[in-house]
Amino acid sequence: MVQLHRKLGGRPTAMVSDKGGRSTNLDNDVYGHIQNAHLQPYVEHGIYGYACRAKRNSNEWSTHAFGIAIDVSSAEDYMGKCTSTVNKRHAPIWQNHNWYWGLAFCDPMHFQYATNY
């Protein structure tokens, strides 16, 4: 189960598990709009959230360490790739909900609920 910061709902339900349970900000906002736009087939395998770690090649904490980042479709839109084949279809929905897309720094799987980080 992917873990996120409590202010983001703590646990996204349907997006990663389809097992129901507690509703979350991620489910209600981003996932709901992805579903409404019939883009769910474009959310591919490999979804990750909380990870207590530093940024790569740095001593600074990653946004994943704070539970305010999620990686989606990591097998297709992997770190180091400067284009997107999958997430480009639903990235505007994330951005409309104030999530920052990592495509700008060649990490198209990465969405974070923080800017200027």
Looking up tokens 């959310």, which residue turns up?
43
11 found inside a domain: yes
Kindly report whether the global pTM for this prediction surpasses the value 0.85: no
**Considering its fold, how many domains does the chain have in total?**
1
1, part of any domain: no
Domain-located, residue 59? yes
Q: How confident is the model at residue 107 (pLDDT cuts 50, 70, 90)?
A: very high
Q: Which residue range(s) make up the domain with 18?
A: 6-112
Is residue 19 included in any domain, yes or no? Answer: yes
In a domain, 69, yes or no: yes
Q: Which two tokens stand for residue 28?
A: 């209600």
Both tokens assigned to 79: 């770190």
Tens of pLDDT along 41-81? 656 666 777 788 898 899 999 988 888 888 988 889 999 99
Q: What whole-number percentage of the chain has pLDDT above 90?
A: 25
The answer to whether 57 and 101 are in contact (CB under 8 A) is no
